[in-house]
Chains A and B, each alone.
Chain A
């Protein structure tokens, strides 16, 4: 049936889309992109997978429940935000470090990037949560094991 084609396309394209979403996440600080849109793209990629293979497969693929993913994301953002409190710096104060790359050049690493990763996680968790809940619907079997 149609799903032959759909599955083939999804199988090939989903990794590409996931890769793309990571690109969006990573380069967000310097070009259009960022945690939000990266997270949304990740969800979109997983939705493609969901349409082709169903919710169970997506849950297997993600492994962590969306709610946990979300809570982890929140913990990361909150943790990053609260880190400066330890040293008496103002809340959400960013910290940067320059990393020299072995092939030359520098890579600026900073807590805002970590913050963005937290945002990314929350967005992935939240949108996946929406989609999975609605796709599984009430009365169906899928998922259903996790505690809140």
Chain B
């Protein structure tokens, strides 16, 4: 029984991870890929960790798994914010089919930071 439940979690997690990986390659711009990581990865890691929690059955295992998931939930958005902000500052292009962009208005007033040039590969 436990193995079956574990298997379900494993399946969800593995699938989410695979999708995230695929998304990294397939999705056309940074923000979409951020979406893929943020969600699929949290879902994927969450699934896999839950599988482990169920499988081990020990309190320690559960605590570790849950703590990891909680931490990831908490910290990933922070990283996302920082990366997105950096991306805007450095002029990372949006996918051409992106619709409205309110953030562009906000940043138009601000000057880009001086170190921006070096961030694009090969420059």
Contact = CB atoms under 8 A, between A and B. Distances in A.
A5 B82 CA distance: 10
B78 A6 contact: yes
Interface residues of A, number: 7
B38 to A, nearest CB: 14
B74 A12 contact: yes
Interface string A92-129: 00000000000000000000000000000000000000
Chain B interface residue bracket vs A: under 10
A2 B71 CA distance: 18
Interface in A29-76: none
Q: Is the interface of B mostly helix, strand, loop or mixed?
A: helix
Contact of A2 (B67, B74, B81): B81
Contacts of A9: 74-75, 78
A2 B85 contact: yes
A13 interface: yes
B77 A13 contact: no
B82 A13 contact: no
A12 B74 CA distance: 9
Contacts of A2: 78, 81-82, 85
19 contacts: A2-B78, A2-B81, A2-B82, A2-B85, A5-B77, A5-B78, A5-B81, A6-B78, A6-B81, A6-B82, A9-B74, A9-B75, A9-B78, A12-B74, A13-B71, A13-B74, A13-B75, A16-B67, A16-B71
